[in-house]
Each structure stands twice: as structure tokens, then as C-alpha cells.
Structure 1
Amino acid sequence: MDRATPVDDVSTAGPRIHALDTLRGFALCGILIINIYQQVVFRGAAAGTAGRMPEAVQLLFYERFYPIFSILFGVGFGIFLRRAALRTGRPRLVLARRLVILLVIGLLHFLLHPGEALTAYALAGLLVLLPLSYLGGRVALAVALVLLFIGAQLVVGYGPIPGLLALGYALAMLDVPAALERRTGRVAVAFAVFATLAAAWIALRLRDVAPPFVNVVGGPGGGVSLLGPLAGIATALAYCCGLLLLLRTPIGPGLSALLSPMGRMALTNYLSATVLFLLAGPPLGIDSTGDLPAIIGLTAGIITVQAAWSILWLRRFRYGPAEWAWRCLTWWQRAPIRLPRPGAGAVS
């Protein structure tokens, strides 16, 4: 199951890294496709018409976008920790409260969206990221690789999440996100490597060739192949590097203008998308994988609404509604939300 959640609002102090917002908005669009299949198509299919996701969706979208969110969650955790330390002498206490609040939000969201991942992110943050925050970036990177190798084989869906969160935290501690705009050559090399790995996996799947290496260990359902989760992660990283390269082209400003506001309001958009597809799905008659035009229309409609909503909202406000509430509860004080009007004095 493709479980992902956006985690935003890391601007406790210091400038935002807009490339991360753009990546987050991009991942939000991709995960919406899977959530619609899982929560609308298959929910209806269980009552009558059985079916599987189209092969293109499986190869290009399924479990290809939650790794992006997971890594960004870890990156956000690391950035927040550093910036919170400038504001309080007990930054980990603030982070623990922040994660507990996210857990409550996730439990409430689960009532509408079974299989959502806010709860998993919050629990993994408390159990993995908080202890990891006492380690340096290089040690955290080594721990992340071990967690990825083990978790990817033990638990379907959720298994790689702790390792991916740890990977994101390690990247933040090694200052990788801040260097993204200056490392075009390295991003291009990474894109070539991950895109090649992703293409190789797709070729094997299309030819129904058994993977050359399958490592299965005892776990829920008898264990999990290592190659499947790793192929998803490689594809996700190829998407990330490809988008970062596109941001350096003439179409980059347009992509950023569209996706970055969605990424800044990713938690709000993730939660509201559940309401939108659960309300709009049944009237559209979506109950099987054969309803492809309606599925595409619902996906495109929600993305259009959220893109427009995010742009308009952020013209007047500093944060999305959910991000603002999360921020206020994290610091246990009311944060200013309105942007100052042109010509008005700065908001204190």
C-alpha cells in the first residue's frame, strides 16, 4: 500500500528552501492518484467488481511517491531541530510535542482514510528520529541504510519508512538540501543512476523476468522481496532529481510557481484531498479500474482546485490552515497568520 503524508512548516527561523516545497507539491500530485485508486476505486470494487491497478500505475506511481514524502519528512525534522534550537533550549521537547500532535491528527484522519500514514510518520518520528537526533549526519546515514535494508524486507508498505525518515534527517545534517541549487552536476549524475535502475526494473517487470536477487525473510505474509521496495525508492529518487533538473530550465519558474504553493500547504492539501475524493468519487460512478476517464478527471480536478486554492491562500496568509494550527499547537502560542498588507508596517 502506498502510504504517504506531507509534512511541512519547517520555517521556524531562516529562509525556506523552495526546491523542497516544489518537490513536496509534486509528490502530493503523485500520491493522490494512488489514494484515489485505494480509497475510491477499490473501496467500490470490494462490493462487486474486483480488479487491479493498471500496470502503468503500478510501475510509475504505486509506492513511488511515499519515499519522497518520507525523505522530506526527515529533512524537515532535521531543519526544524536546528532552527528550534535557536529559539528554545529544549528543541527535542518541542519536536516530541509536534509529533504527538501529528499522531492525533493522523488518528482522526484514519477515520476517513484507512491506511493513511500520518500515524506511521508520527510514531516513526518519536521512536526513530528523536533518538537519531543525538547522532551526527554520517552516523545517521549509516543507520538509515541499515534500517532501509531491514525494514524493506520485514513489513509491506510501512517497512522502508523509518529508514527513509532517517535518510532525510541525515541529508539535512549533511547540509545536502541547502546545496541542491549549487550541485547541478551531482544531481544530473544521480538522476542518470536512479533512472537507469528504475528503467531496468520496469523492463524486468514488463518481460515477467524473475528478479536476479530475491531476499525473503520471515515477516507478515511470509516476507517481502527486497528488490520491489528498492525499485520504488530508486524511481522516487529519479523523479526528485529529474524535477530538480527541470527547475533549472526555462520551464522551471512556472513549475515552481504551480507546485511550490501546494507544497507549502501540503498537510492541508493532503487532508482536504481525502474529503474531496470521498465526496466526488461516488457521484462520478467510479467503482472499477475501467472507469479511467472519471478517475483521470477526478485526479486532475482535485489537483487544479488545490493548486489554485494554494496560490490564492498564500497571497494573504503565511501558512495553510492545518500548518498554522499545527505550528500554534507545537509552540503552544498563537502565531501570526496574515501577511501584512502592502504599505502596512511589519507584523510583530
Structure 2
Amino acid sequence: MKRIATLDSLRGLAICGILAVNAPTVLRLDAPPGANATRELLGLAVQERFFPLFSLLFGISFGLIELGARRREQPFRAALARRLGFLLLLGGAHQLLQPGEALLPYALAGFLVLLPGTWAPSWVAALGGVALTVTGVVMGGGTALVPGLLLAGYGIARLGWASRFDAPSPWVPLGVAAAAGAAASPLLVSLAGDPVKLGFSTSSAVAGLLLATTYAALVSAAMATPLRRVVAGVFEPFGRLALTNYLGATLLLLATKPFVAGWGIDGSSAGLVRMLAMCAGLLVVQWVASRLWIARFGQGPLERLWRWITWYSPTPAPSNVAKDDRVLQPTT
């Protein structure tokens, strides 16, 4: 299946944003008493803003993999279960290094909603994802959003809408970005006046979804302009090695942890600015490594292993399919 460059770029954008969110947790940067402008800015612009996009994209990837298997007439449910099982083990191990990471909730939600969703019509999966996402918002966001966003993304892919992220014109995504940004603005003003609600509250969850939509729409719009080459050049390498870069970021942060105090990185406002500068440096390292790896191997190391576990082959060949798994056309 041909890669959708905009989806890779959006995934890369999410990887970059998530690093800034995870760094204070991994480095254990406790906030000192009193106001902290940088921490509040991160809460408004970054915290819970990229995680929803990453979750939706994971669901879309799951759906695209299923559609590819259907076209090749391959049995896909057992393959998808193996894929989630590997993610479950990987996420469990990652939790030991970074409590609160995303992979374990993705795997659990995948078994609970994505695999059962393979038997549902596409529109039922999409609407079910929306309903579960609303429920997650009411519950205060965070991991409560995961089941709904995964299922919504899966439904989007099953309906054949994933390619629409690669917009032929920038005007529609720009309109979406303007509408979502305008809707988020009063919520952000309210949250700025009451920072206690930042992170896990209904208003913060709604603002997060709206900002995630704004960011995604702006990238989609840029990808429909002459800026496409620049945007893809910056973000696509991160997105094509999303799993490797997500886990690699944790290892890089842990490697820097013994030095952060000497670099003046702490939970203060100035210390968090230095942390962001360090994160930018780590992203440069990951970008260079990703570009070199893609040029040499075409696929990330963990991505290749994950694919092999899914299909027992790095590049699955067409095969016969059991009668109960055969669907000649995507369910609509």
C-alpha cells in the first residue's frame, strides 16, 4: 500500500510534541511553588494536545493495515492480534522506564475495541469512536480518550477517508484550522486563568482535541502548498520511524538525566526553557538518525520487527484466506 505522506508528517509532528510533554516526567522535574509561566504555556499548547493526534493516527494505521490485508485476501484478525500482543509486551516494558506511556493503553484498547470493531460496519466503528471519545472527554481526557480515538481513526481508514488528509488544496484544511482554533480560544483563555484545570479536566480535554485538530489541519494545508517538501522533510522521518523514535526518545532522555542538573534543567520556568532546548537537540539527533536509517534500510528497526511479528515476514505475500475472514470489499 502506498504511504500517505501527510499521515507520516502528522505522525512525526505528534512525536515531536510528545517529547516535550514526556521530558519533565522522565527527568522528574518537579515544579517549585508559585507561578511558572513556561509550565503553564506547555500545559496550554502542548500537554494533551499531541497525544490525541497520535492516538487517532494509530487507529488509522490499524485500519489501513486491515484494508491492505483484505485486498490481498489475507487473514488479518490473527495478524492484528499478534500486532497488538507485541505492542502489549513492548508497552509493559516501556512502563518500567516511563510510567504513563501510551503503548500499553493502545494495546489494551486495541484488544477491547479495535479487534471487535473488525466485525462492525465502517460507519458503526466511526460513530462508536466518536461516542467513546465524547465519553472520554466527560471523564477528563487523558487515557480515557484512547479507546474512542483509536476506534474513530480505524473507522476513518475503513471508510476510505484517510487519503483526504493529503488535501489537494489548502483552503479546506485552513478553514478547519481557523474554526478549531477559534473554538479553542475561549477555552484556552479560561484555562490560563485557572491553571489547576490544565491537564485532566473536561475543558482541557476539549481544548486539547480542538488544538490537535488545528495543528493537524495546518500541517495538512501546508502539505498542499509549495511548503510540502519542507514540511515533509522535517516531520516525515520522525513519522516513518514513529515507534522507534517514540521509544528511542525515552532512552535518550534517560541518558541525559545524570547531566540535567549541571545544565540548569529543573522544574523552574527558566529550567524548562533549557529542557525544551535540550529536547530540540535530541530531535535533531533523531532526525539525522532517521534520515540515514531510511536511506539505508527503508524501514525502522522496531517497525520491521513489528511487521515481521504481524505477518511472520517483513513483506507479507498474498495468501489464501479463511472463509470467515474474507471480505472482498471494505465494509461501509
Bin the TM-score by the shorter chain: 0.7 to 0.9
Indicate how the Cα distance of structure 1 residues 156 and 237 shifts in structure 2: closer, same or farther if over 3 A, else same.
Answer: closer
2:144 is paired with a residue of what secondary structure? coil
Query: Is 1:202 aligned with 2:191?
Result: no
Mapped contact 2:56–2:153 kept (Cα < 8 A): yes
1:182 is paired with a residue of what secondary structure? coil
Distance across 2 between alignment mates of 1:95 and 1:144? 19
Partner of 1:307: 287
Name structure 1 gaps, 5 residues minimum.
1-13, 212-223, 337-348
Partner of 1:288: 267
Distance across 2 between alignment mates of 1:270 and 1:112? 12
Distance across 2 between alignment mates of 1:210 and 1:303? 30
Query: Is 1:240 aligned with 2:216?
Result: yes
Give the drift of 1:60.
Answer: 0.2
Query: Is 1:174 aligned with 2:159?
Result: yes
Mapped contact 1:109–1:116 kept (Cα < 8 A): yes
Partner of 2:146: 161
Distance across 1 between alignment mates of 2:242 and 2:145? 21
Indicate how the Cα distance of structure 1 residues 203 and 103 shifts in structure 2: closer, same or farther if over 3 A, else same.
Answer: same
Mapped contact 1:280–1:298 kept (Cα < 8 A): no
Query: Is 1:322 aligned with 2:306?
Result: no
Mapped contact 1:188–1:245 kept (Cα < 8 A): yes
Determine which structure has greater relative contact order: mean sequence separation of CA pairs < 8 Å that are 6+ residues apart, divided by chain length.
Answer: 2
Give the drift of 1:140.
Answer: 1.8
Mapped contact 2:9–2:239 kept (Cα < 8 A): yes
TM-superposition CA deviations, 1:223-244 (whole Å, max 9, x none):
x743321211111011000111
Written as runs of structure 1 = structure 2, the 5 A alignment for 1:1-348 is: 14-40=1-27, 43-45=28-30, 49=32, 54-154=39-139, 156-180=141-165, 181-182=167-168, 184-208=170-194, 225-285=201-261, 286-290=265-269, 291-335=271-315
Mapped contact 2:252–2:282 kept (Cα < 8 A): yes
Percent identity over paired residues: 37
Partner of 1:218: none
**Which letter does structure 2 place at the counterpart of 1:187?**
P
Give the drift of 1:283.
Answer: 0.3
**Which letter does structure 1 place at the counterpart of 2:144?**
G
Distance across 1 between alignment mates of 2:218 and 2:235? 15
Indicate how the Cα distance of structure 1 residues 322 and 138 shifts in structure 2: closer, same or farther if over 3 A, else same.
Answer: same
Mapped contact 1:324–1:335 kept (Cα < 8 A): no
**Which letter does structure 2 place at the counterpart of 1:332?**
Y
Structure 1 or 2: larger helix share?
2
Indicate how the Cα distance of structure 1 residues 150 and 108 shifts in structure 2: closer, same or farther if over 3 A, else same.
Answer: same
Indicate how the Cα distance of structure 1 residues 296 and 209 shifts in structure 2: closer, same or farther if over 3 A, else same.
Answer: closer
Give the drift of 1:101.
Answer: 0.6
**Which letter does structure 1 place at the counterpart of 2:191?**
R
Mapped contact 2:10–2:219 kept (Cα < 8 A): yes
Distance across 1 between alignment mates of 2:149 and 2:66? 17
Distance across 1 between alignment mates of 2:73 and 2:85? 18
Give the drift of 1:323.
Answer: 0.4
TM-superposition CA deviations, 1:252-288 (whole Å, max 9, x none):
2111012111100010011110010111133021332
Partner of 1:11: none
TM superposition score normalised by structure 1: 0.82
**Which letter does structure 2 place at the counterpart of 1:160?**
L
Indicate how the Cα distance of structure 1 residues 112 and 207 shifts in structure 2: closer, same or farther if over 3 A, else same.
Answer: closer
Distance across 2 between alignment mates of 1:277 and 1:50? 25
Give the drift of 1:115.
Answer: 0.9
TM-superposition CA deviations, 1:62-112 (whole Å, max 9, x none):
000000111001100110001122345421111011000111111111111
